[in-house]
A and B are shown apart, each in its own frame.
Chain A
Amino acid sequence: MKSSVIIFPGSNCDRDMDVALKKFGFKNKMVWHNDNVIPKSDLVVLPGGFSYGDYLRCGSIAAKSNIINSVIEFANKGGLVIGICNGFQILIETGLVTGALLRNKYLKFICKNIFVKANKTQNKYFNKIKKDILELHIAHNDGNYFCSKDDLKSMQDNDQIAVRYCDSNGEISEKSNPNGSIQNIAGVFNKKKNILGMMPHPERVIDNCLSSNDGSHFFKNLLTNMK
């Protein structure tokens, strides 16, 4: 399977993502934001970081990059697109996924491991994943997911809520909500579920020598589902 990771000025999780994708068997290419065309890919990843220094709104400038038109075209044809953290913010600013990411409720940059429950139905990202609760890492200042009541209802009706923050027992509550996101939402799909935007970083937890190895389940499962 071929993947492409887009690098924006200020991306800083691009190489972690490259290492993770290669570790689990993807043939990955790094793609510069100023390019016009994505190399032939089965998966496109918008990585985490601080593209354009988070100027204006996080992800808003990157969402107007040259490469974004081909990312949108790829996504509209049903191609798999993941946006992690700043990548999620960029997806939001392109309009490929619904909602907005506000400043964290308690105004703190949060950098820690958290637990999430993933939506396993009819999507290539989490379908058949064996663990119910994943321990992933978050590192963000603006991850407080927000959308209008109508949008929330429509996303719930379409089963588009991809990932929700929970505690180690899987309980989804205000206590396990790190940043004030409505409904503890940590990630969402588009309607067709080929696009996934989420704040947690699976690429940061892909080895037993790290604080968690649950990112491995994500990548292995995705690759299996793509074959």
Chain B
Amino acid sequence: MKIKVIVTPKNGVLDPQGKAIQQTLYSMNFIDVSEVRQGKYFEIETNLKDEKDAKKNVEDMCKKLLANLVIEDYKIL
């Protein structure tokens, strides 16, 4: 089973990369873009059969390794 996770910078945390992307998009004439936040996307293959168990396990991974909860939020899809 594949579990997908998205990690993004928390609201209020400076994201210089997102800002640089937004500025570049603006200079490319995408003038409607007011903000870009850059995050990470993980696909985790697990041998667990039960989706609930697998997601619970992935949540543990997020807290312990995949995200730094001081600056990032995670979302299990």
Residue numbers of A with Cβ under 8 A of B are 56-57, 60, 64, 93, 99-100, 102-107, 144, 146-148, 180
Contact = CB atoms under 8 A, between A and B. Distances in A.
Nearest to A99: B70
A94 to B, nearest CB: 11
B33 interface: no
A59 to B, nearest CB: 10
B68 A103 contact: no
Nearest to B38: A103
Contact of B70 (A100, A105, A144): A100
Contacts of A146: 13-14, 70-71
Q: How large is the interface on B (under 10, 10 to 19, 20 to 34, 35 or more residues)?
A: 10 to 19
A102 B38 CA distance: 13
Given A56-B65, A60-B65, A64-B65, A107 B70 contact: no
Contacts of B14: 102, 105, 144, 146, 180
A146 B71 CA distance: 8
Interface in B7-37: 13-14, 16-17, 20
